[in-house]
Amino acid sequence: MSAKTLRHLIVAGLLVLWELLPRTGLIPELFLPSLSSTLLAGWNEAAEYGHALAVTLYEVAVSMAFACGGGILLGAIVGSLPRPRLLIMPMVSSLYAVPLVILYPVFTVWLGIGSESKIAFASIYGFLPTMLATAAGIQTIDPQLLLAARSMGATLSQRLVRVIIPAAIPTVLSGLRIGGALVIVGVVVSEMLISSAGIGYLISRYRTILDSPHVFAGVLLVLFMAIAFNTAIRWIERKAAIWQTGTRAGQSAADEVGSGAMQPAT
Amino acid sequence: MQPLANVTPLKPPPRAGAIEVRNVGQVFRTKSQDVVALEDVSLDIKPGRFVVLVGPSGCGKSTLLMMMAGLRAQTSGTITVNGAPIPQPDPNRVGVVFQEASLFPWLTAEDNVEFPLALRGVAKAERRAKAQDALKLVGLEGFGKRHPHELSGGMKQRVSIARGLVQDPPVLLMDEPFAALDEQTRMTMGDELLRIWAATGKTVVFVTHSLTEAVYLADEVIVMSPRPGRIVDQLQVNLPRPRTYEMLSGDAFGALRDRIWRHIRKSA
């Protein structure tokens, strides 16, 4: 049996357990409602969940644009110019250790409890790993490659487009993977804390009235969102980074980012 | 073009591939002190010659090569290639081959070879045709679609050579191109390089640490010594071409290698 079918079997087994354990009464329905009652709860309130999902997806999309765009831009500057690196990097690294969620109440004061405060929080949350990975990706480019390009008469802009960007892509992508995941976390968590719409808000509201099936329906939606994001990133990685296997520099930088060495405090 | 194996082209175009180095000096300024990397180096390389630079680490042989490539400016003196100074890289006059790490890992072998042409905006069809010719010359016909990580060390170095030759420059500069290869591959690549050199009639300047490789390949060996970097000897290697493995154990070969070694031992 291949590892893949085994993995599918494990997932299927977990789903069966999810249905059976509450039904047989081994776990009270309040703690874990059965799969079928969760799905039914979600189906009955489909309009409400659909609206919440739209709000959350909108916040995630805008935050991701800010986090990834800003992270790549500033990471490229910091990675290629030593002076901004000296000024900014120590600050960013210490900021990384701060649980940024403490800033969220401040954002709600500034921006209200609508989408703006979630977007601001999630953008900053996802921005840091993206920026750090981009900076690392550009710093770890083999100087021999740039020298070779120069020996063939490449101008500065040609070196940027034809050498620096393709060489940095694998590391940047692994930063996007973490940054994007954190954007989802940031949006959902901030919705759960203080808000009036979104999946996080629904989860939190149904929890206060102890309606477990509706809570778990929301959890399932967040789960699907995260899986969809991960699948998309994997697809891009496969498309963009087929050469990654061949380079130790790119590989080790990617490992460093991916292994959680750069995980922030939540 | 000259298909014969052992001589410079009979009638090279005037000065094509000649390199003249006149009183070149290079000083690196660091915070604490100035380091003299090269001091008053003069050198005349005739078109079509195979010249090897040897010397211990820090003797400035790679620095000198980078200057000939236009990749680094000298502090004093002049360098001309084909009769004109070379203030910046000019792939039409000089092709450069580095250690194997310098292939772009995200490009296929043929895209790597086409790279200098693509920079110049050469049309796709012409680029492809020239890259195929260059790959054929280095014995890699049919490997164009592979990525560098799918090629062996020796094959990667062949791709690098093809990339250096694709614009047909009169001069090929090689900075320890076989240093990362194992002994057997290194020997084979030496023979391959001599074959390519004979087939194209290029001027080759080759930097190496290996004394055996230096004598085996060269028409002329330039021995350098460090602190400050300067030329301490110039040996003509008059062994017949094509060079063969048997020559390695001959007296003439040994005498030349010993002479280089005595210089290097003194300066190291």
Name the closest residue on chain A to residue B101, using Cα atoms: A144
Q: Which two tokens stand for residue A176?
A: 């996007």
Which conformational region is residue A153 in: left (phi greater than 0), alpha (psi within -120 to 50 degrees), or beta? Answer: left
Whether B92 has a pLDDT exceeding 80, the answer reads yes
Contact A56, A63 (CB under 8 A): no
Q: Which two tokens stand for residue B264?
A: 């290097």
Of B89, B94, B101, the CB nearest to A142: B101
Name the closest residue on chain A to residue B149, using Cα atoms: A246
Contacts of B115 in chain A (CB under 8 A): 149, 152, 162
pLDDT at B172: 92
Whether B12 has a pLDDT exceeding 80, the answer reads no
Residue of A152, A173, A245 to mutate when probing chain B, most B C-beta within 10 A:
A152
**CA nearest B131: which of B158, B146, B112, B105?**
B112
Q: Say how many CA atoms lie within 13 Å of A253 toward its Cβ.
A: 25
**CA nearest B100: which of B194, B211, B174?**
B174
* Cα distance between residue A186 and residue B193, in whole Å: 59
* Cα distance between residue B111 and residue A243, in whole Å: 13
Cβ–Cβ gap A247/B89 under 8 Å:
no
pLDDT at A203: 92
The tens place of each residue's pLDDT in chain A, 266 residues long, gives 788 899 999 999 999 998 888 888 888 888 888 888 889 888 888 899 999 999 999 999 999 999 999 998 888 888 888 787 888 888 887 877 788 888 888 888 899 888 889 999 999 989 988 888 888 888 888 888 999 999 998 888 888 889 988 888 888 888 888 899 999 999 999 999 888 889 999 999 999 998 888 999 999 999 999 999 989 888 888 777 655 544 444 444 444 444 444 444 44
pLDDT at B8: 52
A263: three-class secondary structure by DSSP: coil
Cβ–Cβ gap A144/B90 under 8 Å:
no
DSSP summary character for residue A162? I
Contacts of A250 in chain B (CB under 8 A): 105
Amino acid at A108: T
**CA nearest B154: which of B185, B183, B131, B184?**
B185
Contact B178, B97 (CB under 8 A): no
Question: To the nearest whole angstrom, how far is the Cα of A150 from the nearest Cα of chain B?
Answer: 7
C-alpha of B132 from chain center: 22
Beta-carbon neighbour count of residue A174 at 10 Å? Answer: 28
Cβ–Cβ gap A154/B119 under 8 Å:
yes
Q: Is residue A58 classed exposed, middle or buried when 0-12, 13-18 and 19+ CB atoms within 10 A define those classes?
A: middle
Question: To the nearest whole angstrom, how far is the Cα of A261 from the nearest Cα of chain B?
Answer: 26
Whether B153 has a pLDDT exceeding 90, the answer reads no
Contact B216, B192 (CB under 8 A): no
pLDDT at A70: 92
Contact A121, A104 (CB under 8 A): yes
Poorest-confidence range of A161-170, A181-190, B28-37, B195-204? B28-37
DSSP summary character for residue B12? P
Name the closest residue on chain A to residue B146, using Cα atoms: A243
C-alpha of A238 from chain center: 18
pTM score above 0.90: no
**CA nearest B176: which of B162, B193, B197, B151?**
B193
Cβ of residue A208 closer than 8 Å to a chain B Cβ: no
B227: three-class secondary structure by DSSP: coil
C-alpha of B254 from chain center: 23
For residue B246, give Cα distances in angstroms to A144, B143, B235: 36, 32, 21
Contacts of A170 in chain B (CB under 8 A): none
Beta-carbon neighbour count of residue B141 at 10 Å? Answer: 11
- pLDDT category of residue B206 using cuts at 50, 70 and 90: very high
Contacts of B149 in chain A (CB under 8 A): 243, 245-247
- Phi/psi for B207 (5° steps) reads -100, 135
Q: Who's near A219: CB < 8 A, 6+ residues apart?
A: A203
Contacts of B150 in chain A (CB under 8 A): 246
> Across-strand partners of B97?
B174
For residue A101, the surrounding DSSP H or E stretch is: none
C-alpha of B217 from chain center: 11
- pLDDT category of residue B14 using cuts at 50, 70 and 90: very low
Question: Would you list the DSSP string of B19-38?
Answer: EEEEEEEEEEE-SS-EEEEE
* Cα distance between residue A30 and residue A37, in whole Å: 11
Contact B178, B157 (CB under 8 A): yes
Please report the domains of chain A, with CATH numbers, ordered by start residue: 47-265 (1.10.3720.10)
DSSP summary character for residue A265? P
**Per-residue pLDDT tens digits for B222-265:** 999 888 888 989 999 888 888 888 888 888 889 999 999 998 88
Cβ of residue B69 closer than 8 Å to a chain A Cβ: yes
Residue of B68, B92, B100, B104 to mutate when probing chain A, most A C-beta within 10 A:
B104
pLDDT at A184: 93
Poorest-confidence range of A246-250, B88-92, B142-146? A246-250
In B98-152, alpha helices (H): 109-119, 124-137
- pLDDT (mean) for B80-96: 89
Q: Across the A/B interface, how many CB contacts are shorter than 8 Å?
A: 69
For residue A158, the surrounding DSSP H or E stretch is: helix A156-159
- Phi/psi for B40 (5° steps) reads 45, 60
Cβ of residue B87 closer than 8 Å to a chain A Cβ: no
Of A142, A152, A158, the CB nearest to B89: A152
Contacts of B163 in chain A (CB under 8 A): 152
Contact A133, A75 (CB under 8 A): yes
Q: Which two tokens stand for residue A254?
A: 């990617």
**Per-residue pLDDT tens digits for B60-77:** 888 899 999 999 888 899
Altogether, the residues listed in chain B come to a count of 268
